[in-house]
Structure 1
């Protein structure tokens, strides 16, 4: 079987050539022009970043991609769906405000923004999941599915629940409506290790369901209220919160793959991922810690599984940054080394299951050929 093709270029440029221009060269070389976009609506799915977080992708890259789409006759728009947690993107009005404050507007990007699941996160459509083992149908933002063509533009980074936030995370979790996100997050619930809790109350500030209270100076998570989103795990600086269900993160990853299948199946899709500002946690946080790895490059492919696999492989070959969450962990004399940058940064995560399941259900393949520009 022929391997999937993944195109790669680093962030080096010569005088007179900008990085957005280099991105345009990459996507053209990767074959975006093979898609018939003439007069078609083209959804560009990306993460606008939480207010306070500055590791999300710059709007300059979005504009570069949108310009290529328009040159091909397409009608691009930017999209993302609302969040479960309280942050600054939980409804369309706040989401659009957040996007504009973070620099995403028609002047900077060259296209409009449509929040995929509507004002309250309830405007969704049930989409069949081909070969699904966890879902027969997925709840996807209606505007995402109304598009004729789907393009994902991803900031590749670490993640406190899924190991890394890549193309499949951007598509599967990102395109799920609020009901869809609930469906993916309902497997496991975190719990507090009392002897490690310092009563800093940071976890409660991140909780999207008001499930965390404080009893006798220690955090307590109400399992009946908790949505299982895992933001408290990433918020805790003392490793005092862990997932309560064995294998929950592995199951979450497989569910994300199935939601990605629902979004992509049956229509033209193209995927771009930038390995830059590789923060240890998701861009959903209102802050971003120092990168755990150096900037590596830009990648593009028609295959989302191969693209994520290629990004993982490049990251695992990179040298960790000492002054980072990953570097701090590796420097601990009693650290149990995983010899895996994502597991050594967030040791309770599972990520390979996402890639394996994506391949199993026919979303893409893990075997790829890396073509360097």
Structure 2
């Protein structure tokens, strides 16, 4: 049987059809109330956005999900795990300040904010999975102990994973720093030609693995933990992963971590909402947001993380690309039906998330899109 993915597009002709109302209606239409029992502690897994980024999910949309959970008798809290890289979310204090400054104050979202892996990313539980890359994975404690979880994801392109949606949110977002490092451990970036010696990579490396040698940046492979932060923070795109050996293994490891987080919840106690809006070329962890690749598409909801990501992927690629975006720079992927994610990150293969996720038993890429 095909997995159902419920979908609202961006059109609105009256007050009842505004996006805020559509979020609540999606919750109802997808049957998410069945995931919430009275007094359940419900994790609303969200990315609070890095300082300077503006593409993350709008807090007023998150409020609609919080209110729905409360109407079902649940006790919601908004949560995310600390980052591996240096930035505005690498410890719980800075993380909470960033979340509040980005609009996720209690007065707006009507729920407390709880950083899932503690003040310095040391609070986690081992979850046995016995898969290809990992016997067990580390899942942030406050996500592990939640009775239920609603995963709210901003669907966008990603410089390493190809794209980021529900699966990536489960994987990176539910792991402490040590778990993120395990996922990234096959990535060993190298500095290419034309380094401008701006030293942004030095300032942002969490392990001080980068130094200046003969006027250019040098990454010590012995010290490098493969977090990939230098790749995102290189203004001139000089630092690159070693594509030929790293990317497929990284994506499989990431998907196994997603499976571990998924496995912490009983059947039908975890549900997913994808916001296919502001479809930017980079992750929301970057302290800026580039122009969207395609026009806003809509919002999707499902109990199946593989199906919702596949539907999101298909809907994005069915659009005409925007020339005033990274697609225009690439001069590729602009036509409807072309792969926007490959166009901006040609060495990635995001579809591994879907294929391997289905193999692991997280869901099915065979879906029925129910347009509301």
Question: TM over 0.5: same fold?
Answer: yes
CA contact (8 A) 1:37 1:69 kept: no
Equivalent runs, 1:90-101 vs 2, <5 Å: 90-101=90-101
**Aligned-pair CA distance for 1:209:** 2.6
User: What runs of 5+ residues in structure 2 fail to find an aligned partner?
Assistant: none
Count of aligned pairs: 366
Deviation at 1:358, TM superposition (A): 0.5
| Counterpart secondary structure, 2:309 | helix
Looking at structure 2, the residues matched to 151 and 351 of structure 1 have their Cα atoms a distance apart, in angstroms, of 23
Q: What's the CA shift string for 1:89-139, capped at 9, x where partnerless?
A: 11111111110010102110010011000011001110122x521111111
Q: Give the structure 1 partner of residue 239 of structure 2.
A: 241
| Higher mean C-alpha displacement, 66-75 vs 254-263 | 254-263
Q: Which residue of 2 aligns with 1:208?
A: 206
Aligned partner of 2:192 in structure 1 is 193
**Counterparts of 2:57 and 2:203, CA distance in 1:** 25
Deviation string for 1:267-308 (max 9, x for gaps)?
Answer: 211000001111111111111111112111100000001111
Q: Extract unaligned runs of 5+ from structure 1.
A: 333-337
Q: Deviations over 1:6-46 (max 9, x none)?
A: 11111222232331111111121011122242111100101
What is the distance in 1 between the residues matched to 2:26 and 2:158? 26
8 A Cα contact 2:36 2:69, kept in partner:
no
Deviations 1:209-236 (A, max 9, x none): 3222222232211112222122322333
> In structure 1, the residue corresponding to 2:322 is in which secondary structure?
coil
Aligned to 1:335: none
Alignment of 1:48-127 (within 5 A): 48-127=48-127
1:284 has 2:282 as partner: no
Q: Mark the CA change 1:301 to 1:247 in structure 2 (over 3 Å): closer, same or farther.
A: farther
RMSD (Å), alpha carbons = 1.8
C-alpha distance in 2 between matches for 1:352 and 1:306:
12
| Cα distance in 1, alignment partners of residues 346 and 200 from structure 2 | 20
| Residue 203 to residue 318, structure 1, CA distance change in 2 (3 Å) | farther
1:257 maps to 255
| Aligned mates of 1:118, 1:158 — CA distance in 2 | 29
2:85 counterpart SS class: coil
- Range 321-330 or range 13-22, more displaced: 13-22
Contact residue 318 and residue 338 of structure 2 kept, 8 A = no
Alignment-derived partner of residue 218 in structure 2: 220
Q: What TM-score comes out, normalization by structure 1 length?
A: 0.94
Per the alignment, residue 46 of structure 2 pairs with: 46
Q: Does the Cα contact within 8 Å between 1:250 and 1:354 map onto a contact in 2?
A: no
Partner of 1:173: 172
TM-score by length of 2: 0.94
Contact between 1:187 and 1:245, CA under 8 Å: does it hold in 2? no
Distance 2:219 2:53 in 1: 26
Name the residue aligned to 2:312: 311
Q: Which residue is 1:372 aligned to?
A: 371
CA distance in structure 2 between the aligned counterparts of 1:321 and 1:254, rounded to whole angstroms: 30
Residue 139 of structure 2 aligns with which residue? 140
The equivalent residue for 2:6 is: 7
